[in-house]
Amino acid sequence: MNTAKAPSAYTEFHPRWYRKRVSTWWWLGSGPYLRFILRELSSIFVALSVAMTLAQLWALRFGADAYSRFQESMRSPWLMALGVLTLAFTVFHSITWFNLAPRALTVRIGGRRVPEIMIALPNFIGWAAVSALIAWLVVRG
């Protein structure tokens, strides 16, 4: 039986306990909380980058002219600014994600826990390798 919804059997007999309401802006009070909210917010930009890539592939499907029109539309200052913002948040999201990975994944070898850097580092190396491969494919034309 889960009784977590009943916080305390004594609460109702102590109406004079002071309970402070949590402010809507609680996350502005400290650096770590702000970083957490930005990390959560970055998910929206990750989704946006996926949507942009899908739109790009969709345009490619309709031939060279359609793809040129798509590229032209992406050159608008607003979309370029959005692209830069999306890239910044996606990089931030990736870094925070890879840095948190060792906390969730504990690997033990010979009874000893593998150092956190050994879990995070392969993620960063894999990220760099895939990015370099894509960059090479794009630059090669």
Which residue ranges make up the site for other proteins (CB under 8 A)? 2-11, 14, 16-20, 22, 26-27, 29-30, 32-33, 36, 40, 100, 103-106, 108, 111
- Tokens 């607003």 sit at which residue? 78
Distance separating alpha carbons of residues 49 and 55, to the nearest angstrom? 10
CA distance 95 to 88: 11
Smallest separation, CB 104 to other proteins (Å): 3
Cβ closest to other proteins, residue 36 vs residue 62 = 36
Residue placing its CB nearer to other proteins in the complex, 106 or 131:
106
Q: Min. distance of Cβ 132 from other proteins in angstroms?
A: 29
The 8-class DSSP code of residue 17 comes to S
